[in-house]
Amino acid sequence: MKRKFELFGLLIGWFAVLSQFVLMIQNRQADIFETVVRFFSFFTILTNTLVALFFTASVLKTKKVLSRLLLQDGTITAITAFILIVGAVYQIVLRSIWEPTGLQFIVDELLHTIIPLYMLGYWFFNVKKSDLRSKKVFSWLLYPLIYIAFILLRGGFSDYYPYPFLNVSEIGYEKAIVNAAVILAVSIILLIVLIFLGKFAIKVRRN
């Protein structure tokens, strides 16, 4: 049963990411290279790709470096936290600013609602004690820190920011940094919540 869940996670993860890539290429407002760079500038895309890679590594169980990284202690908890951040930010901040239709609507819901909830459910039933070690989990905070630094640095040269709450051109560096700090703080809180919830989940599965 676990393998079926992993295989389904692999399928919906790659379908959502690749479909969004095709849609963005079709509706591009810049040349191909810039569009590809912009595509991978979205935390949503990077994190959903991480989810897809995690399920791929779980299904294939290869001994490659990336697979070992994705299957090491703490990774499942960190990825779950970050994909939940993707879902929460979209539902609270971004959902009201546009109304996708057709395939874009389906892909949008997969990336921001279905996959985050699916990952949470998978995590709840498969998390282990070793996945809740705070040192391993919190080392993943480098991921959003590097992401934010990259977006602000590149935006300074390209004047392109993937999210309005990081758009320095419109809101300034001070507000953008405050917004980034809030998201990091929420990430830390969510990681702590998942560590405690994970201990509860393990007890529930034992009973």
pLDDT at residue number 1: 76
Cβ-contact 57, 13 below 8 angstroms: no
pLDDT at residue number 99: 85
pTM of the shown model: 0.94
Helices 168-206, 115-126: inter-axial angle, 10-degree rounding: 30
For the segment 95-139, what is each residue's pLDDT rounded down to a tens digit? 888 888 999 999 999 999 999 999 999 999 999 999 998 888 999
Task: Tell me the DSSP string of 154-178.
Answer: HHHHH---SSGGG-HHHHHHHHHHH
pLDDT at residue number 43: 97
State mean pLDDT over 149-159.
93
